[in-house]
A and B are shown apart, each in its own frame.
Chain A
Amino acid sequence: MTEKYDPKVYQALGITEQDLEPATAEEKASNDQMRPSLSYWKDAFRRFRRNKLAIVMSILLLTIILLAIFGPILSPYTYKGQSADVRQGPSLAHPLGTDKLGRDIFVRLMYGTRISLLVGFVTMILVCLIGITYGAIAAYVGGLCDNLMMRFVDLMMTIPSMLIIILLSVVLRDPLKALIENPSFTALASLGSGLISIFIVLALFNWLGMARSVRGALLMNRTQEYVLASEAMGAKSKWVVVKHLLPNSIGVIIISATGVVPSAIMTESFLSFVGLGVSAPVPSLGSMANDALNGISSYPQNMIYPAVMISLIILCFNVLGDSLRDALDPRMRK
């Protein structure tokens, strides 16, 4: 057995007596250079910022949104104002030329972009309202109610939605027209019955995914101790859901919500393209593409503008959705 302070052992290990002195405050501080602890949101934002493509797409989307808002306001033309200057090429007066009725294509394109973005955002909000409420009720009530509610979602998912969407968007138009002529709904009248029926139809068939993921996230969070603690202190179920469970599922909600936007925009442009969407003369990117189809060999540019715009908008939302999912997924945290 060796002695407690055997210099030979120190020598063999290459340790001098100074190494065993207690560390000074300075040395302690220099050792403390750990990463400051980040909150979930700061961490997510840091990861999002590192994704260059996502930043480029955010800037692009912001530009498109600003153009869509201010383009029609600043331009001297309106989307339905016709003139004798038919089928003109790009010029200073008309940056993208005019169509077969002499309408300024730039203003129509921006107006159509407005419609597309509006469809995306309004559908997203409606889907969040329906999906979160439905999912939260199913998860919190549980039991037979949950089972029935989820079987209903399963059944809805098996219905080929496009067929019903097409039919329903036509059916809803007339009752809606009667409704918005009612003086108490004048705020909605400016949107037009075609657009409102699209909002409703798209929301009706897109909330299923949201309801499922919200329910899943809530069920996962519900088993945690803090919920038990809150319930033990006498919290009502509404409090638990609204104050604890939903805020902790916000990542899942954001991911599903951003997924809804591009698919809603795509469906709207398809409906308008086959002539069942927004009613003329209000331009939608889909109906502009449909109008351009007749003169496509002589005036291909009239097709290219709306086509590129739809694809750009959808691309932006797809990339943003992907990078948000990467940023918000806690498993990606390093």
Chain B
Amino acid sequence: MLRYALRRFVTSVVTLFLVITITFFLMQLVPGEPMLGENINPEITERLLERYGYDKPLGEQFVNYVTGLFTGEMGYSLVVKSGEPVFEIIAERIPISVELGLIALAIAICLGIPLGVLAAMKHNSLFDRCFIFSASLFVSVPSFIMTIALMLVFGVWLKLLPIAYLDSWQSYLMPVFGMAIYPMCSLARLTRTTMLDVIGQDYIKTARAKGLSTPKIMFKHALRNACIPVVTSLGPQIAGILTGSFVVEKVFAINGIGRFFVNSITARDYPLIMGTTIFYALLLIGCNYLVDLAYGLIDPRIKL
């Protein structure tokens, strides 16, 4: 287990480094340069480029950037508040994004998995049919459309919930559900399928023959085996929630980090592109690492 954890840690670090490298060089290929504008004295542009170190050869810039990272130096944004440190921009806006993302993830897991188990228990019942129909419907709706649909129905037409900002608990409902519905339905569908597989196996019949209660069989015996593929799918789900946050923060005017990801690319804000990429990559790779470690805890048969 420890060896596996260490080995996976090393590959995670390698992946992170790979992502940093790819992003750094791809970013330089984006057409257009920072500090370009009409009516700017070329001398000033040159001095600005020199100040930010963009006049050096690319290789040197990269080495400087990576060594800077080790000392916690992420550079200064070229656009936001004309020169705010990238680290501060991210640190200031992380809490709200992470909070929304975590609530959405929690909802997806805590509602999705029990719903899937319930549908599998009542296989072919009316509930199961309704469930599988609506879940298939909802996994076909991209999360940005779900977010807008929620806003349109509950915010604009019914006027039940606020349509922008986060100031009361009601204002959390739409952004969080906009992000959570897609992963919730896909987790529920997956749980149902794997549960149906497991329920047919002999050891479940044995448990039933021993006289165990149905909830105990389902949640203690069946779910434990059924949740291995579900846990595997958590990694991509988290990535999906993150991409959902790009849109949710735009639609609901939330001052989080998600909107910076796309905006920094269109603004050619090199340090901020790197900063947001590193932040997202760290988050995703970290989550995948935890998910991989979780296998050993869930299924003792898997020798890590």
Residues of A within 8 A of B (CB): 155, 158-164, 166-168, 170-171, 173-174, 262, 266, 269-270, 273-276, 289, 293, 296-297, 300, 303-304, 307, 310-312, 314-315, 318-319, 322
Contact = CB atoms under 8 A, between A and B. Distances in A.
Contact of A275 (B140, B145, B266): B266
Contacts of A303: 148, 152
Interface string B148-192: 110110001100000000000000000000000000000000000
B140 A296 contact: no
B19 A276 contact: no
Contact of B265 (A159, A166, A270, A318): A166
Contacts of A310: 142, 145
B113 interface: no
A269 B142 contact: yes
Contact of B26 (A159, A167, A262): A167
Q: Is the interface of A mostly helix, strand, loop or mixed?
A: helix
7 contacts: A159-B19, A163-B23, A166-B261, A171-B26, A275-B266, A289-B145, A314-B140
Contact of B15 (A155, A167, A174, A322): A155
Interface string B110-141: 00000000000000000000000000110111
Point out which of A155, A158, A174, A315 has the most chain B C-beta atoms below 10 A from its C-beta.
A158
A164 B22 CA distance: 8
Nearest to B12: A158
Contact of A311 (B11, B12, B140, B277): B140
A270 B142 contact: yes
A158 B23 contact: no
B284 interface: yes
Contact of B156 (A161, A297, A314, A319): A297
A319 B140 CA distance: 9
Contacts of B11: 155, 158
A324 B273 CA distance: 41
B140 A170 contact: no
Interface string B242-266: 1100110011000000000110011
B29 interface: yes
Contact of B285 (A158, A269, A312, A318): A158
A160 B246 CA distance: 15
Contact of A163 (B12, B30, B145, B277): B277
B72 interface: no
Contacts of A276: 262, 265
B31 interface: yes
Contacts of B136: 315, 318-319, 322
Count chain A CB atoms within 10 A of each CB in B145, B156, B261, B277 and give the residue with the most.
Answer: B145
Given A293-B148, A318-B139, A159 B156 contact: no
Given A159-B18, A163-B277, 4 more contacts: A166-B265, A275-B262, A311-B141, A311-B145
B140 A262 contact: yes
A167 B14 CA distance: 20
Contacts of A275: 262, 266
Nearest to B277: A163
A161 B22 CA distance: 11
Contacts of B149: 307
A194 to B, nearest CB: 13
A155 B11 CA distance: 8
Contact of A300 (B144, B156, B247): B156
B98 interface: no
Given A160-B280, A167-B265, A307-B145, A173 B19 contact: no
Interface string B195-239: 000000000000000000000000000000000000000000001
